[in-house]
């Protein structure tokens, strides 16, 4: 499975989203199996329209209304963090600075997907790892210990964009990598992002190197609410990954979904317990053959 991501923001966020998706549709290794869009401060109907205007051919398109987003801004040449205005004040923190934007994550070359109710969902037996996004606190109960290993978090609301352009409410979606595909590194951390990144980098499977694509799903009590400024964790990851240009994708979550204790790279299905965390960050790192 291959991943390509970018963030658009500000008044031109939607038009830039259309332009960059058009470019991605021609440059991503075919076929494109899934597209995940984490958006902040933008109407979901307008995000959906921007996607359709790009002409991208993708059977599985998901939208997640988020508390905040993290991604690589091409115009700035760096990773940025945007958190909903005031988010975190309900827990006594300073609160987010606000903003509007969208993170697009294109999955191609072997990604598999599913959506619906995780309590009744049957997962393919040949999936080694998967990104999971849910939007109800109780829906992950009972699914958290089912393989494969997960990385992701809890959003506000999720939608599936159907062929007739209708947005279908879905409490849960996942996008996975099959067994014997490129290994994906996953860990849960509460400390500093640079340290967690360096530790996971040291576990890369033989014969593979980091592609630079990094998933990051922090609790929204982290970020500016923890450090007093934005872009701290994304900058730390970029500084640590000296041999690959880090392109971060993800969202600030209200419940982080990831391994209970595991930290490492996987390309085989197995029973690795996961759970819903609080005040943590979930990290994933993608690879390519060396």
Residue 148: band (very low, low, confident or very high) from pLDDT cuts 50, 70, 90: confident
User: What mean pLDDT is reported for the chain?
Assistant: 93
Average pLDDT over residues 175-201: 96
Task: Give CA–CA dist 69/102, Å, rounded.
Answer: 7
Q: Yes or no: say if 145 and 271 are a contact pair by the CB < 8 Å rule.
A: yes
pLDDT at 207 over 60: yes
pLDDT at 140 over 80: no
- How does pLDDT run across 221-230, given as a tens digit for each residue? 999 999 999 9
Give the pLDDT of residue 117: 78
Q: Yes or no: say if 277 and 152 are a contact pair by the CB < 8 Å rule.
A: no
Say whether the peptide bond before residue 49 is cis (omega within 30 degrees of 0). Answer: no
Give the pLDDT of residue 176: 95
- How does pLDDT run across 26-50, given as a tens digit for each residue? 888 889 999 999 999 999 999 999 9
Give the pLDDT of residue 146: 61
**Which among 211, 207, 180, 190 has a CA at the least distance from the CA of 263?**
190
Average pLDDT over residues 66-90: 98
247 strand-pairing partners: 213
- How does pLDDT run across 214-273, given as a tens digit for each residue? 999 999 999 999 999 999 999 999 999 998 999 999 999 999 999 999 999 999 988 888
> pTM above 0.85?
yes
| Beta pairing class for 101-108 and 32-40 | antiparallel
pLDDT at 145 over 60: no
Residue 120: band (very low, low, confident or very high) from pLDDT cuts 50, 70, 90: confident
Q: Considering the chain, what percentage of its residues have pLDDT values greater than 70?
A: 96
Average pLDDT over residues 6-27: 96
CA angle 24, 287, 112 (to 5 degrees): 60
φ, ψ at 248 (rounded to 5°):
-85, 145
Task: Work out whether the CA dihedral 230, 15, 151, 253 comes out positive or negative.
Answer: positive
């Amino acid at each position: 499975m291959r991943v390509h991501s970018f963030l658009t923001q500000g008044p031109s966020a939607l038009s830039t989203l259309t332009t960059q998706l058009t470019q991605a549709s021609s440059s991503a290794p075919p076929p494109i199996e899934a597209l995940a869009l984490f958006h902040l401060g933008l109407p979901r109907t307008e995000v959906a329209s921007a996607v359709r205007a790009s002409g991208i051919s993708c059977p599985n398109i998901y939208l997640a209304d988020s508390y905040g987003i993290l991604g690589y801004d091409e115009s700035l040449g760096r990773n940025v963090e945007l958190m909903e205005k005031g988010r975190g004040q309900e827990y006594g923190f300073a609160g987010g600075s606000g903003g509007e934007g969208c993170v697009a994550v294109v999955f191609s070359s072997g990604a598999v997907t599913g959506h619906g109710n995780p309590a009744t969902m049957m997962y393919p037996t040949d999936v080694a790892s998967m990104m999971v996004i849910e939007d109800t606190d109780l829906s992950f109960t009972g699914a958290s210990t089912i393989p494969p290993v997960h990385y992701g978090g809890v959003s506000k609301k999720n939608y599936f964009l159907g062929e007739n352009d209708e947005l279908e409410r879905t409490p849960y979606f996942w996008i996975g990598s099959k067994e014997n595909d490129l290994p994906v590194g996953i860990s849960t951390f509460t400390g500093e992002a640079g340290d967690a990144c360096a530790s996971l980098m040291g576990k890369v499977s033989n014969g593979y190197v980091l592609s630079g694509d990094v998933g990051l799903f922090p609790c929204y009590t982290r970020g500016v609410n923890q450090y007093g400024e934005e872009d701290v964790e994304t900058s730390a990851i970029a500084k640590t990954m000296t041999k690959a240009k880090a392109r971060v994708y993800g969202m600030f979550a209200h419940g982080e979904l990831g391994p209970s204790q595991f930290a490492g790279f996987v390309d085989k299905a197995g029973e690795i317990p996961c759970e819903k965390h609080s005040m943590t960050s979930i990290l994933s790192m993608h690879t390519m053959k060396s």
